[in-house]
Each structure stands twice: as structure tokens, then as C-alpha cells.
Amino acid sequence: MSTTLPTLTSNPSNASISVRKYIYHLPYPLPLGTPIPYTPNLPTYNPLNLDPNASEPTHTLVLTTPASTFVDLRILKRTSGFDTEAPNNGKPGRLEWGFAGVSRSVAVLDAGQPMRNRDDSGQDGERASSNAPTSISTYTCTRLGNGNGNGNGIKNGTWIPEIRHSIWTHTVDSRHPLNSPFMPPDEGDMYPLPNNPDLTLEFGTAFNPLTNMHMNYEEMWQDVKIDVCGPERLKYAVCLKLEQPTTNTRGVVVRVGQFVQGIVKNGEQTTVERWEFTGEGEGEGWKRIVNIGMSFVPCVVTFRPTELEIGGKVRYQGSEWVVDELVGWE
């Protein structure tokens, strides 16, 4: 295998490690005039008289490569002292949701106006969101082209972060069959928090399988610093993909820095893994911290990126994974 990296074809700054800090449910549709974002003002300002506390029932981690392939795994926290903090025994009950695919985002051009669905070009779509708020909190909104000629989110001498509308297209989903025509949309509006550049608030609408109803929600995401691991000189992002129509199997493995996650869907069965590099000391190194399901997930292959090459094959028991992405940067 190659010991040199290919020429960069995507921007390493697009790579990310994100941890969800909380999820908060809001009414659907939203009452007219509901401020969005809502949760950063809690508990001081709570005009809908909702629960004043946001919570996080899972260990949720999202890894995104420079080319925007992602793996999102949501593992339920333990509910008794007999459970481990993260399941590593193959049992499926702790997988709240797992999915992988490709993400994209566009700038929201009309901050201060109702949110709309947008087409691929980033322009306003024809259908306005029926549950859109009538206004957006000014401390997190931007107006591109706001009359001062610079169009860079500066208004009255104050920098205002840019809102982006993000869409995550699922190619593997633990809740849905492969290639299902009924895969629900997954998209939301992303609000950077000006006082903490590592935090981003997501507002969106989704179907809640627990209540069998649609809901509005806010999720707070925190960026995690991407690290160099052990003796490696560079930070690495690696993506492996499996496509096996004859057995109705598809899989994605993504490494970003010190984390690796993988998901495989084989018929009705889902397997997920999560690994973390914990250090170079004795008893440290790459540790598997989540294993749910029975299929093979080649996360360990990503531990030696200099032995991989784009288009290279990883074969195991009749399955053939392909190295789809390989990026190293300082």
C-alpha cells in the first residue's frame, strides 16, 4: 500500500468532531412569535412556559470528513448501576439511533424573516415552512448584504455569526430499510453562539417515533478539537464504504482525528462501533468504547492511514470495503 497521501481534493477545515450537549422539544407548529433560538434564554426567559431545563439522554457523537461524509451514533446512557456507561457487548438495546450519509449546508439569506426550505442553489424555495417563527433572535442572526456593502455579517459595528441551513442525506439508517422511499428529511438551521465559538445550536422539525408525532426541537452541538494520534505526524480523516446489493448490505466507517465510528446495515440488522484514541501511555491507545450488533466493522483499518490508498480494498468474509477518502493535514 501507499505510504504517501494523495493530493488534497477537499478542505480539511470541513472535517469536524461534534458532541451533542442536549436536545429540547418544542411545540409543533410553533406558536406565532416564538423566539428562535429558544433554549439559550432558559430559564430566565420562557414565554411558552415549557420545561426550564434541557437534557441529554444519549452519548451522541458525529464525525464528518472533509468531503462531508458523516457517521452519527446516538447511544442511550445507562439507566441502572448494572449497565456500563457505554455498551461494548453487542446487545442492541442501547442504540437510540445510528445513521450515515452526506451533509451539505447553505447560508440563510434572510435572517429576521421566516425560515424557508431552500433548494440546492441556496435560493429560497417555493414552500415556506409552516411552523416557522416570525422572527429570529438578533444576537445570532446575520443578514448577508445588509446595506453597508460588505455582506460579511457586520451590522452597526457588531459581528453577527452566520446562520446556515444544513441537510443530512441518510444512506444508512438504523430505523429504516436501505433505499427506503420513506426516509424522512433531516435538516435544520444552525445558529453559532457568538459568546462561544465551539457551540452551535440546531433548530429543526422531525418525526418523533416515541410519540408518533412531528416535533420541533433544538439541539446544542459542541465542536471537539481534532488531535494528532500517537506517533502520527498529521491529523487524519479516513472514510471506508461497503456496498453489497446481493446481500442487502451497506456500511460506512469514518475516522476523524482521535475518533472512529462505523455503521453497517445488513437487512434488518444494524451494527455500530465507536473507538477513541486515549493516549500513548501504558494501557492506552485505541480503545473500543461502543460495540452493538454482530457484523464486522473495519474501524481498526483506519488506525494506520499511511498503509491505505484511495480506492484500496479491505476484504473480510466475502465483504469488500473501499477506501473512499483519505486526507492528512497539519
Tens of pLDDT, residue by residue over 267-312, are 999 999 999 999 988 889 999 999 999 999 999 999 999 999 999 9
- Pull the grid cell for residue 299: 474501524
Peptide bond into 37 cis (omega under 30): yes
Which residues have C-beta within 8 Å of that of residue 126, sequence separation ≥ 6?
A: none
% of the chain surpassing 70 pLDDT: 80
49 vs 200: CA distance, rounded Å: 24
Q: What is the DSSP letter of 36?
A: B
pLDDT higher than threshold 50 for residue 28:
yes
Q: Which residues pair with 26 in a beta bridge?
A: 216
For the chain, what is the total number of helices (H) and then of strands (E)? 0, 19
Task: Let me know: does 48 contact 252? Beta carbons within 8 Å.
Answer: no
Residue from 276, 273, 182 nearest 224 by CA: 276
| Element of type H or E holding 287 | strand 286-292
Cell of 160: 453577527
Q: d(Cα 77, Cα 116) in Å, to the nearest integer?
A: 35
User: Which pLDDT does position 126 carry in this prediction?
Assistant: 30
pLDDT in tens, 73-113: 999 998 766 577 778 887 788 999 999 999 999 998 654 34
C-alpha cell at 103: 451533509
Query: Could you say which DSSP state residue 8 is in?
Result: P
Tell me what pLDDT residue 135 has: 35
**What would the DSSP string read from start to end of 170-214?**
EEEETTS-TT-TTPPP-EEEEEEETTEEEEEEEEEEEEETTTTEE
Which one-letter amino acid corresponds to residue 86?
A
Using a cut of 0.75, tell me whether the model's pTM lies above it: yes
What pairs with residue 268 in β-bridges? none
pLDDT band of residue 127 (cuts 50, 70, 90) is very low
| pLDDT value at residue 211 | 86
For residue 165, pLDDT beyond 60: yes
Q: What is the pLDDT of residue 143?
A: 28
Secondary structure percentages of the chain, helix, strand, coil, to 5: 5, 45, 45
Residue/partner pairs of 199-203 with CB below 8 Å, 24 or more apart: 199/21, 199/223, 200/18, 201/37, 201/39, 201/40, 201/140, 202/166, 203/36, 203/37, 203/115
* pLDDT for 118 beyond 70: no
Whether 153 has a pLDDT exceeding 60, the answer reads: no
Grid cell of 23 as nine digits: 436536545
Cell numbers representing residue 77 in the block: 446512557
- Other residues' Cβ atoms within 10 Å of the Cβ of residue 146: 17
* DSSP secondary structure of 225-242: -----TT-SSEEEEEEEE
Mean pLDDT computed over 248-268: 98
C-alpha span between 322 and 58 (Å, rounded): 31
Burial of 52 (0-12, 13-18, 19+ CB in 10 A): exposed
CA angle 263/266/272 to nearest 5° reads 20
User: Do residues 256 and 225 lie in contact, with contact meaning Cβ atoms separated by under 8 Å?
Assistant: no
How does the average pLDDT of the chain come out, rounded? 84
Strand partners, 164: 107, 190
